[in-house]
Amino acid sequence: MPVQYDDVVAWVKAFASAIEENKAYLTQLDSAIGDADHGTNMQRGFQAAVQKLEESPGDDIGAALKGVGMTLVSKIGGAGGPLYGTFFMQMGTALAGKSELEADDWATALEAGVEGVQTRGKAELEEATMLDALLPAVQALKESVGAGSSLEAALVKATEAAQGGMKATIPLIARKGRASYLGERSVGHQDPGATSSYLLMKAASDVLATKKAS
């Protein structure tokens, strides 16, 4: 069953709701190693992104995601805005002109988004960043889709991989961003960006599960 424009909008809205529900938790994580604003900034940015989608309905998935990305860049402070903005803009570029998506389209777009984050943030795996959740997620998604799995099943695998990557940031020494200033004192803290990235993948999986159930 192809993913439609409305499903993609539902994904962004589901993620915005997850950020709202976990705002205090994300801020708590960030207070230990950062500026204590990840939850607040993400909430503000995704509220604006949802409003943008509601004010500009259409059927071009790529254009919608690029619009989300540009909104995030302008509304989210700190590193989160450029990184999440780049993620959505690169996904949008990969899906330009598409009104429905197959599993291969989603995998290609997700990979483009993650590559954009990696280029923008100049980070690698195991540096305690959002990439520790996103890189395993995109790898799991590609492998599952390549093996013939449905997008719904592939997203479950991607979400599990993102969760594992998120938890794997706890023993790492942060190498990027404000947390890197702490050096070894950053060990023992779950990265807030990896946590929000896990919520991003879970929102996609939840939306597709709901679509299939209906």
The model's pLDDT over 10-55, given as tens digits with 9 standing for 90+, comes to 999 999 999 999 999 999 898 876 677 889 999 999 999 999 999 9
pLDDT for position 181: 40
Residue 108 Cα distances to 11, 29, 53, 131, 189, angstroms: 17, 31, 22, 17, 32
Q: How confident is the model at residue 176 (pLDDT cuts 50, 70, 90)?
A: low
Q: Within the chain, what is the greatest distance between any pair of CA atoms?
A: 49
pLDDT for position 179: 53
**Domains of the chain, with CATH numbers?**
3-213 (1.25.40.340)
For the entire predicted model, the pTM comes to 0.92
The model's pLDDT over 134-157, given as tens digits with 9 standing for 90+, comes to 999 999 999 999 999 999 999 999
**Residues 161-183, mean pLDDT to the nearest whole number:** 74
Alpha-carbon distance of 83 to 69, in angstroms, equals 9
pLDDT for position 25: 94
Q: How confident is the model at residue 214 (pLDDT cuts 50, 70, 90)?
A: low
Alpha-carbon distance of 177 to 171, in angstroms, equals 17
Residue of higher predicted confidence among 14 and 81: 14
Q: How confident is the model at residue 182 (pLDDT cuts 50, 70, 90)?
A: very low
**pLDDT value at 171 more than 90:** no
**Residues 190-198, mean pLDDT to the nearest whole number:** 94
**Residues 79-108, mean pLDDT to the nearest whole number:** 94
Q: Among the listed ranges 22-31, 36-45, 171-180, 205-214, which one has the minimum average pLDDT value?
A: 171-180
Alpha-carbon distance of 43 to 33, in angstroms, equals 19
Structure tokens at 135: 């890189």
